[in-house]
Amino acid sequence: MSAIYANDTASGITDERPDEFALLTRDFVLREFPQYLQAAQRDPHHYPRELMKKCAEIGLLGLEIPEEYGGNAVPSGQQVAVMEELARGDGGLGLDILVQNSLTAFPITQFGTDAQRARYLPRMAAGEMIACFGLTEPNTGSDAKAIRCKATWDEGRKGWIVNGTKRFITSASAASVMVLAARTGRPEERGRGISVLLTEIGPGVESVTVSDFDKLGQPGSQLCEVVFQNHFVPEDALMGKRNQGWQIIESTLQHSRIWIAAQGSGIARHAMDEAEKYTHEREQFGKKLADIPDVRNHLQIMQRQVEIARLLVRKAAAHEQAGDERFFVWASLAKLVAGETALWTAQEAMLLHGGMGYMKEMPIAQIFADAAVIRIYEGAAHIQAKIIGKYLPGKEILPLLPPSGAFLRDARDFPSPAAVMADIETWTIA
Ligand SMILES: Cc1cc2nc3c(=O)[nH]c(=O)nc-3n(C[C@H](O)[C@H](O)[C@H](O)COP(=O)(O)OP(=O)(O)OC[C@H]3O[C@@H](n4cnc5c(N)ncnc54)[C@H](O)[C@@H]3O)c2cc1C
């Protein structure tokens, strides 16, 4: 993994040395994102197709895809550095790019047949084809093995007939292909009766209806409900083996959780950037806010927390990159801490903006709404806590989470991020 941090200072705030791809992404985000974010704020149901094409040109849609299929696959450590910069630019636009990579290109690359890879991956890497991931249903979220959307085998037509509803599917209104988790066995078989089908959706596919939700934040991404009515899926659309799709879903979520954690630490970093900027501009009591010791102290506590989240994201990515089969435990820890950190940092940054922080015109108001969902999707906080509790029993997770009443605390009372990480390095997975 490329080094991101050069050193850790006594204050717990580190110097940053992003790798080249992350720097390129940062420049791209600063140049391209503002116009698409403004367009999304005007019309949150508009998918930024043009932006996705531009992302493709610099390789942002091929981060999971091997070169032979038109991609530029990079290791996990680089993926998270890039994702962090995308989310630091905008959480919603970053999510569009995440879905195209870790939730869809990843399973197709890892589990698809050669024909499936050849059919979808080059067009996905080029931004010509948008993909989505269909797992959640109206009655099934956290308990994902209970999905009901049914795929019934039709021997005469040599394919499946799909009936059911998928809910909260990011990018579905723009997508022409879905990685679909469907029930092909009996409900009581739970995970052992699920198959994954790569099915085409979108305009012209009359057996699939897509509608948009109105959500609180992340206007740059679209959230949809997808209804399948007697939708035919041919035999060669099966990914992996029949009734063994849960392994594909689980692997995808475990991998993608590191990306979501990076989205969380990127959003937290964005909130931090805005807090730094505002407190260096705003004057009260004859001084810049940032020169008032209490405010400086508050900023340092925030920086420390963001740093812990970012280091945990990198740790999870490093474990995955090194081939550690238990990397998913670190992924859950990173996702949990980054999710809590994103919302907390946005809230603290909003406080440091005073009344202006509550005005929709201020970026921090948007960041606050964007941050709230990190702790919900791809396994809500309680679910991550369960995984962590199972594999890291008895470990103290609370000190990794954001502290309450930061304005009452002294930054010097907290151990540095390096000290926190050194302690975690002694943890072993049960
Ligand atoms: C913006 C957004 C984008 C999304 N994108 C996608 C997507 O692209 N594809 C997709 O398939 N899904 C997607 N989702 C769905 C998302 O993954 C689910 O919303 C999430 O997994 C939670 O499921 P749920 O909403 O059904 O909540 P529920 O499962 O009903 O949970 C509600 C609350 O109860 C808690 N809870 C549930 N069970 C337990 C338990 N056993 N112990 C303790 N607490 C528990 C949960 O942690 C949560 O706090 C998206 C959701 C959102 C909001």
pLDDT of residue 135: 98
For ligand 1, atom 45, name the residue with the nearest CA.
382
What's the token pair of residue 122? 């080059």
Tell me, what's the pLDDT at 17? Answer: 55
Q: Give the integer Cα–Cα distance in Å for 301 and 312.
A: 17
Q: pLDDT-based confidence at 120, cuts 50/70/90?
A: very high
5-130: CATH topology is Butyryl-Coa Dehydrogenase, subunit A; domain 1 (1.10.540)
Average pLDDT over residues 346-360: 98
144 CA closest ligand 1 atom index:
21
* Residue 377: HSE in the Cβ half-sphere, 13 Å Cα cutoff: 26
Q: Whose CA is nearest to atom 24 of ligand 1?
A: 141
Query: Domain 247-424 - what CATH class?
Result: mainly alpha
Q: What pLDDT was estimated at residue 44?
A: 87
Is the confidence at residue 14, as pLDDT, over 90?
no
Domain ranges of the chain: 5-130, 132-243, 247-424
In the predicted model, is pLDDT for residue 7 greater than 90?
A: no
Q: Would the pLDDT of 1 be above 50?
A: no
Please check the confidence at residue 5 and state whether its pLDDT lies above 60.
no
Encode pLDDT of 78-89 as tens digits.
999 999 999 999
Q: Which of 130, 166, 377 to mutate to test the pocket of ligand 1 (most atoms within 8 A of CB)?
A: 377
- Greater model confidence, 5 or 291: 291
Lowest mean pLDDT among 44-48, 164-168, 343-347: 44-48
- Distance, CA 377 to ligand 1 centroid (Å)? 6
pLDDT at position 18: 61
What kind of fold does domain 132-243 have according to CATH? Butyryl-CoA Dehydrogenase, subunit A; domain 2 (2.40.110)
How far does residue 211's CA lie from ligand 1's centre (Å)? 19
The predicted pLDDT at position 24 comes to 95
Token pair 């850790």 in the structure block, residue = 8
| Catalytic residue ranges | 378
For residue 15, name the pLDDT band (cuts at 50, 70, 90): very low
Tell me the average pLDDT of the chain.
95
Predicted local distance difference test score (pLDDT) of residue 2: 28
Q: Quick one: what percent of the chain has pLDDT higher than 70?
A: 96
Q: 144 C-alpha vs ligand 1 centroid, how far in Å?
A: 9
What pLDDT, on a 0 to 100 scale, did the predictor assign at position 78? 96
Which residue out of 93, 168, 197 has the highest number of ligand 1 atoms within 8 Å of its CB and is therefore the one to mutate? 168
Percent of the chain having pLDDT more than 90? 95
Other beta carbons less than 10 A from residue 211's beta carbon = 11
Q: How many CA atoms lie within 13 A of 374 on its CB side?
A: 38
Residue 181 Cα: closest atom of ligand 1? 11
Beta-carbon contacts of 55 under 8 Å, excluding residues fewer than 6 positions away, are: 28, 61, 97, 127
pLDDT at 11 over 60: no
- The protein residue with its alpha carbon nearest to ligand 1, atom 26, reads 141
Q: What is the pLDDT of residue 212?
A: 96
pLDDT at 157: 97
Q: What one-character-per-residue DSSP string does 54-106 give?
A: HHHHTTTT-TTS-GGGT-----HHHHHHHHHHHHHH-HHHHHHHHIIIIIIIH
DSSP state of 416: P
Contact assessment for residue 206 and residue 81, using Cβ atoms and an 8 Å cutoff: no
pLDDT band at 133 (very low <50, low <70, confident <90, very high): very high
Ligand 1: atom nearest CA of 379 is 21
pLDDT at 9 over 80: no
Ligand 1 site: residues with CB under 6 angstroms?
99, 133-136, 141-142, 168-170, 215, 223, 373, 376-380, 382-383
Tokens of 80: 């998270």
Q: Give the pLDDT of residue 19.
A: 81
Cα separation, 301 vs 11, whole angstroms: 9
pLDDT digits (tens, 9 = 90+) for 143-180: 999 999 999 999 999 999 999 999 999 999 999 999 99
Condensed to tens digits (0 to 9), the pLDDT of residues 270-312 reads 999 999 999 999 999 999 999 999 999 999 999 999 999 999 9
Mean pLDDT, residues 72-80 taken together: 96
Predicted local confidence at residue 8, as pLDDT = 37
The three-class DSSP label of residue 237 is helix
d(CA 338, CA 318): 16
What one-character-per-residue DSSP string does 343-361 give? HHHHHHHHHHTGGGGGSTT
Residue 375 is predicted with a pLDDT of 97
Cβ atoms of residues 71 and 118 within 8 Å: no
